[in-house]
Homo-oligomer: A and B are copies of this chain.
Amino acid sequence: MLSCTMEPRFCETDALGHINNTVVPMWFETARGPIFEVFNPGQDLSKWNVILRKIDVDFIAQIYHGHSVEIRTRIGYVGSSSCVCEHEAWQRGELVAKGTAVMIYFDFAQQCKQEIPSALRAELEKLS
């Protein structure tokens, strides 16, 4: 499992007084950084090889400014050309949001998905 900590920004609050819902996908994207690194060590943009196919987010409890948020991320599933990341956001001991992201191993030159090779699969499965 991967873990990272976000300090909510004041500009991420909204007029209802809490962290705006649209911020959570940004936090989850950031939490996938180490997974981008597994797909593409060094993250050279010219060698980028993964695209996002789908996300969902469940908003479970209000998220507050002034308290750090831990994002826990694991790989839930590795398919032939895709993998599913599972994210949880925890604040003050409470699960406040969770979500998934379906990523496709992608050949940008050919503009098509490609099969995940076994060595990469093994690396991804270490994060499950």
Contacts and interface: CB of A to CB of B under 8 A. Distances in A.
Contact of A15 (B15, B33, B59): B15
Interface centre among A11, A21, A57 (most CB of B within 10 A): A11
Contacts of A52: 21, 59
A29 B45 contact: no
> How many copies are assembled?
4
A53 B96 CA distance: 11
A17 interface: yes
A51 interface: yes
B10 A11 contact: no
Nearest to A48: B16
A30 interface: yes
Interface in A15-29: 15-18, 20-23, 25-26, 29
Interface in A49-63: 51-59
A58 to B, nearest CB: 5
A7 B30 CA distance: 9
Contacts of A26: 9, 11, 22
A83 to B, nearest CB: 15
Interface of A: 7, 9-11, 13-18, 20-23, 25-26, 29-30, 33, 36, 43, 45, 48, 51-59, 65-66
